[in-house]
Structure 1
Amino acid sequence: MRQPKSVKGLEELGRVRLSASFYLRDFLYSEIAAIHGLPNIPDDPDLAIAAGMALCENLLEPLQARFGRLSIRSAFRSCAVNQFGNSHKLNCASNEANYAGHIWDRRDAEGQMGATACVVVNRFVPYYERTGNWEALAWWVHDHLPYSEMEFFPKLAAFNLTWSENPKRRISSYIPPRRGVLTRPGMENTTGRHDAAYAAMLVEIG
């Protein structure tokens, strides 16, 4: 599929169904693109679609099935949008660091396909705001879903959720006081089950 050059073409691209609940259009909005008039359109739609399907089917659909509606905060970024964000210090990593992350239509340095979406689990927000316990959701995902990376942020416990052909199984956070890495391969806590870490969350939010 070629990159669309018309409204009709972009409409058709946006209608591509990535999974039962999600269409590509759900992931194309960008505040950076909207404010600065930049097109947020894949250069390689076929790769973006393949990566997006894997993200939705393996991670977003099962997460939504368990906890209810997800809100997408940030997802696909074109190279141009991400580069602008990085150059203007708008919380975007370099393009190379975001290949197979927020930049779905580029493979990473190892040639692996991947995709990232920053999501809010709406039903989790009241529990998080009362307890500050973002780790409960992180450990649930760790135990149940084939994620590559998670990166949690203070507002609404929004987190970057990444699928990759070569998963890293790494969780980090910018939420005080547990800033930094929660787990990654080689740490003692990465193996086994973590049911106790999210038992209270499941009781409260169902």
Structure 2
Amino acid sequence: MRTPKTVEALTKLGRVRLSKSFFMRDFLYSEIAAVHGILNVPDDPDLAIRVGTRLCEDLLEPLQEEWGRVAIRSAYRSAELNAFGNRMQKEGSSGYTCASNTANAAGHIWDLRDADGLTGARACVVLPHFWDQHQAPGEWQILARWIHENLPYSALQFFPTYWAFNISWHERPKRQIHSYADPKGWLVRGIG
């Protein structure tokens, strides 16, 4: 598939079903793209679809089966969009939290291989039902431990708001868990 340049082509990409519950369209929305008018589409749609399918089938579907609806906060970013967000963050603009393209390759930038030539995909998600049941300080760890014991994730990174977390699939999983929510720091160091 070619990089979408028309509404018809973008509609076709958005309709690609990555798993039982998720379509590519679910992962393309970005507040940064919407506010700044930047098109958030993959340069290599076939690679983005391939790794997005792994993310959905191996991680997001089992999460949804166990904990209820998975709400996507942020997921796929084009290299252009991510570089813009990183530049805005470095300039001190509020609300921009994009790491460098190198750090987000095979992460939020699904169609860019990492420095080792490997593939991966990341999404920031919220599990509303889990949040409703587990809001006490540190209860994000219940979910982190369940994922660690049950899913082939690469990395988890938890945040204080609604226990949102980045979850990553990677062809060489690191198996690491870090949190910006209390208690802050590493729960599992993993590989790498």
Note whether the superposition's TM-score is higher than 0.5.
yes
Secondary structure of 1:88's counterpart equals helix
Task: Output the CA distance in 2 between the equivalents of 1:30 and 1:77.
Answer: 8
What is the TM-score normalised by the length of structure 2?
0.94
Where do 4+ consecutive residues of structure 1 move more than 3 Å?
none
| C-alpha RMSD over aligned residues | 1.0
Judging by fraction of residues, say which structure has more helix: 1
**C-alpha displacement at 1:127, in angstroms?**
2.7
SS at match of 1:9: helix
Identity of aligned residues (%): 58
1:184 aligns with 2:189: yes
Q: Whole-Å Cα distance in 1 between the matches of residues 63 and 136 of structure 2?
A: 21
Counterpart residue number, 1:201: none
- d(CA) in 1 for partners of 2:39 and 2:186? 34
Match of residue 93 from structure 2: none
In structure 2, C-alpha distance between the alignment counterparts of 1:17 and 1:129, rounded to whole Å = 33
- Amino acid in the other structure paired with 1:152: F
The corresponding residue for 1:121 is 127
Amino acid at match of 2:98: C
Rounded to whole Å, the distance in 1 between the matches of 2:70 and 2:166 is: 13
Q: 1: CA distance between counterparts of 2:7 and 2:132?
A: 39
1:32 aligns with 2:32: yes
Q: How does 1:4-83 map to 2 (within 5 A)?
A: 4-83=4-83
Which structure 2 segments of 5+ residues have no match? 90-95
SS of equivalent residue, structure 1 residue 62: helix
**Structure with greater Cα Rg:** 1
The equivalent residue for 1:153 is 159
Gapped runs of 5+ residues in structure 1?
187-206
TM-score normalised by structure 1 residue count: 0.88
